[in-house]
A and B are shown apart, each in its own frame.
Chain A
Amino acid sequence: MIDEGRMREVARDLLASGEVDCVIGYARGSVWYRARPVAISDPDKVDMLIFNPFCMQNLATWLKFEMKENGGLQGKYGVVAKGCTARALIQMMQENGISTDDVYTIGVPCPGMVDPRKLGDDVLAMEDARVTLAGERVVVEGERRKVFSRDDVLHETCLLCRYPTPPLYDVLIGEGIEGRPAEDKNLAHLESLPAEERAKYWEDAFSRCIRCYACRNACPLCYCDGCALECLDPQWVYRSVEVSENTLYHLIRAYHLTGRCVECGSCEFSCPADVPLMELNRKMARDVERMFNYVPGMDPKAKPLLGAYDPRDPEGFIL
């Protein structure tokens, strides 16, 4: 993992020099297998900052919360950014959601985040533990020592991650790492199913949804002021928890992230009903890449996919 001391030093310098007004980073959560986001504006408090394999949250979302709370960003923010966080920030810049001057990106190369649910109850029962990622292994050291394979305990979205290092940053802590995405077996399997079985699969998934809107709220890129999903006039989708409304809700959500989703996995991570939201997002992201050769969140000056066109776009489907 990265050098936390160096990260704190950078944050302290930024705050002390007045370069940024606030640093958004991670702090230890209520238990050892959780991290929580923290906003620090006092240089003496930077020792709270950590970076361990439980820093799953995308901090660009907390920038969104700041924006929503204050009707815009007040001052300049330093953001501790993993690959996906930085890409979300870049995507926001591209859409003029935030200005390049609003953010100072403290880039951290991310080796992937551990899903606590995959560690098992006996491990989580430990009072305290330290988790390190070493190559293919994940080592948990507490009252007992336990070694896992990386493939078994990382979030699926992290195993499939292609950009662990921020594509753009103001400072990078440590050295960048190359992405080595695993094969996306789930997506390939789903695509190979007959249409009726896919419909059944999604019906099962969507009927579990309790419409808590956590996926929408946790998404760094769902920051529109007038969200179509809660608009009352016209009311595109009712709040009722019912399979057709849920399906409509999820398809609208997935479509609004088409060509924008940076695949951070926040939606799926925050979902209390285990709806495989990332499968929808990944499917659209792969299609976008295949059809339009476009990857979102890489270049703040790129044109938004669905706001642009190329006369040579595929048109084999047109009647």
Chain B
Amino acid sequence: MSMVFAPRMAEAAPSSHAGASWSPYDNNGGTCVAIAGADYCVIAADTRMSTGFSILTRDYSKIHQITEKCVLASSGFQADVRSLQKNLDARHQIYQHQHNKQMSCPAMAQLLSNTLYYKRFFPYYAFNVLGGLDNEGKGCVYTYDAVGSYERSGYSSQGSGQTLIMPVLDNQLKSASPLVLPPRESSTPLTENEAVDLIKDTFASAAERDIYTGDGVEIVIINKDGIRRETMPLKRD
């Protein structure tokens, strides 16, 4: 499986094409993090877009708002990510026409899973974290693989810096195992501001060691008052 997703330089070196085989995929890097609290959700992603050892742009938003209470952060292959975002927007538009309301975050989570699995044999090379508020107004985070396996959790990280960030989140926020019965609350005990600060720290750390994470972080906070956006500069090296 991992072989199928092997990243490759999209653009062959000028005028040296001997033996070069074309790939429909590229890995444009980037890291996404989301943390759910009792009555809020924080979703963040860095703004660097890379190919191989080159930076394409330092200010590309990986966060896409689908509904008023549901936001998607995605890294991986930018062209697939953009296509996926447009697909979900179109499906949400149809949903609104049919039901005269916005889709709930848990429903959007299922739709995203189905959309990814629909392309199981030519996948979207996209690594998603979906965050927002559920029908009770509680924070929710859904985390995915490229072909649509998903899980609701209290916090998650995806993308090139996930291996650096996820253990820190586990250490700081470790939640009850999903196997424990009766099921426990998955959202984290942090306050909103503590969650934002933790996310800033994890990105500053990931930017030190992951060359695909840097330039800036975009942080989106969803709570009962609405949606708010913050940014923080990161190292540009």
Whether chain B is bound by chain A comes out as no
